[in-house]
């Protein structure tokens, strides 16, 4: 399983959806709250070129937003 | 052939589906997702029966309530792309009652005797140069999601209604400076919201401003706007832009079949939910309803659902 990091904010519903989706499939991930963690914020912007959450880093592949189809494909889940 | 196809999964879609299924109509719901536009809301405090609920929780409850109905099938995620009028095979004395064939973005199609269009609305965009290029790169349509990313930055909120004011208030918790840009001579949002915003000491209101271009390189660096009071072009240096200029109806797929108003909203009889086309009903934000509210959309959709039921009874009675 690739290493997964998700960049989120507490009040973002698509971030919740991303978390729940991964949880449902028992997939481990690191959740970085970019509202509290400035280093994580810079890391997310540098990696993705995005100023919006959620951003998922799945083994180095960057997915912007809660793109269920793209995440499922990368992780081979339905 | 279904008795009814319901297009949409917001409060209106769920309400229409539950009532249709309970009337034993053979029901299909086609929707991209459940919950409607308030799914992104952090806290809904006016959904009757719940003191406080998140948009996501409301979406789950709507979905599970629909799924609990026997006789209601759900096709999701799927988006209705086109509707064609077909022959139903029903009709007395040579007269033929129409039916409807709904084509989805999944490449399949479904037929029904009646349609309930509850496809809601989506966020209106600025439609100016640079907007598409900088989406997610400084332009956001979700202040509750992305406000924290603009800590100590300069941002502009476009839109002087309550949504704009609320986004601006959200941003004052993080940003160093918040411009609220409205294309009207004065703000249209509640004075109470404006008071909260101005108390932050970080906000500046710019009225009479028509945004004409988003500027930037890799990320947003500013906006260009026409100052209508002086009739000259101005620029504002900002790192982030939040767009809160209302919504537009998702009526494209049905526009050729039913009457719409100048804003592309489906014109309905507000007593029954009937459109200009017999057999097609509509409710919620896709219609010319006066208020855009979850509770009202649900109630109006129930009207439409009951009207579809009686329309169907009448057709089937004629064929006996």
Reported as a single tens digit per residue, the pLDDT across B230-252 is 889 999 999 999 999 989 999 99
The residue to which tokens 């095979």 are assigned: B89
Which residues in chain B are closer than 8 Å to A50, comparing Cβ atoms?
136-137
The H or E element that residue A24 is part of is helix A13-24
- Is B288 annotated as catalytic? no
Residue A64 has pLDDT above 90, yes or no: yes
Which residue, among B126, B27, B130, B134, has the nearest Cα to B73 in the 3D structure? B27
Percent of chain B with pLDDT over 70: 99
Which residue out of B42, B50, B108, B142 is catalytically annotated? B142
pLDDT for B93 equals 66
The alpha-helical segments, DSSP class H, found in chain B are 11-22, 55-67, 143-146, 162-172, 191-199, 294-318
> For B155-213, what is each residue's pLDDT tens digit?
999 999 989 999 999 999 999 999 999 999 999 988 999 999 999 999 999 999 999 99
CATH of domain A4-75: 3.40.30.10
> For A25-45, what is each residue's pLDDT tens digit?
999 999 999 999 999 999 999
The H or E element that residue B249 is part of is strand B247-249
Q: Could you report the predicted ipTM of this complex, rounded to two decimals?
A: 0.86
Average pLDDT value over all residues in chain B: 94
Which residue, among B19, B95, B11, B13, has the nearest Cα to B310 in the 3D structure? B19
> For B269-312, what is each residue's pLDDT tens digit?
999 999 999 999 999 999 999 998 999 999 999 999 999 999 99
Residue B320 has pLDDT above 70, yes or no: no
- Is B300 annotated as catalytic? no
- The SS3 call for residue B151 is coil
B34 touches chain A (CB under 8 A): no
């Amino acid at each position: 399983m690739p290493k997964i990091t998700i960049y989120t904010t507490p009040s973002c519903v698509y971030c919740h959806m991303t978390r729940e989706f991964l949880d449902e499939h028992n997939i481990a991930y690191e959740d970085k709250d970019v509202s509290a963690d400035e280093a994580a914020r810079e890391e997310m912007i540098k990696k993705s070129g995005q100023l919006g959450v959620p951003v998922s880093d799945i083994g180095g592949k960057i997915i912007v937003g809660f793109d269920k189809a793209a995440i499922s494909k990368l992780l081979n889940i339905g | 052939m279904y008795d009814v196809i319901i297009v949409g999964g917001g409060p209106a879609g769920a309400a229409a589906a539950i009532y249709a299924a309970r009337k034993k109509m053979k029901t299909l719901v086609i929707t991209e997702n459940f919950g409607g536009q308030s799914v992104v809301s952090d806290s809904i405090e006016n959904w009757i029966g719940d003191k406080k609920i998140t948009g996501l929780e409301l979406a789950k409850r709507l979905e599970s309530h629909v799924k609990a109905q026997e006789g209601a099938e759900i096709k999701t995620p799927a988006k209705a792309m086109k509707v064609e009028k077909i022959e139903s095979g029903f009709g007395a004395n040579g007269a033929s009652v129409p039916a409807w064939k709904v084509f989805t973005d999944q490449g399949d199609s479904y037929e029904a005797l009646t349609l309930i269009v509850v496809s809601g609305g989506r966020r209106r965009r600025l439609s100016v140069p640079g907007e598409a290029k900088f989406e997610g790169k400084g332009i956001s349509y979700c202040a509750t999601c992305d406000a924290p990313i603009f800590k100590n930055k300069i941002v502009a909120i476009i839109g002087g209604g309550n949504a704009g004011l609320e986004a601006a208030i959200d941003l004052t918790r993080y940003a160093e400076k918040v411009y609220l840009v409205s294309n009207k001579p004065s703000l249209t949002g509640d004075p109470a919201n404006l008071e909260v915003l101005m108390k932050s000491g970080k906000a500046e209101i710019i009225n009479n401003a028509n945004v004409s271009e988003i500027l930037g390189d890799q990320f947003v660096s500013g906006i260009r706007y026409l100052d209508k009071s002086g009739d000259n072009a101005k620029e504002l240096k900002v790192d982030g832009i939040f767009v809160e200029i209302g919504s537009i109806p998702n009526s494209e797929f049905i526009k050729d079949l039913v009457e719409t108003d100048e804003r592309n909203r489906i014109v309905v009889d507000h007593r029954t939910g009937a459109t200009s086309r017999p057999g097609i009903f509509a409710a919620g934000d896709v219609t010319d309803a006066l208020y855009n509210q979850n509770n009202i959309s649900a109630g109006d959709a129930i009207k439409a659902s009951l009207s579809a039921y009686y329309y169907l009874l009448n057709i089937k009675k004629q064929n006996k």
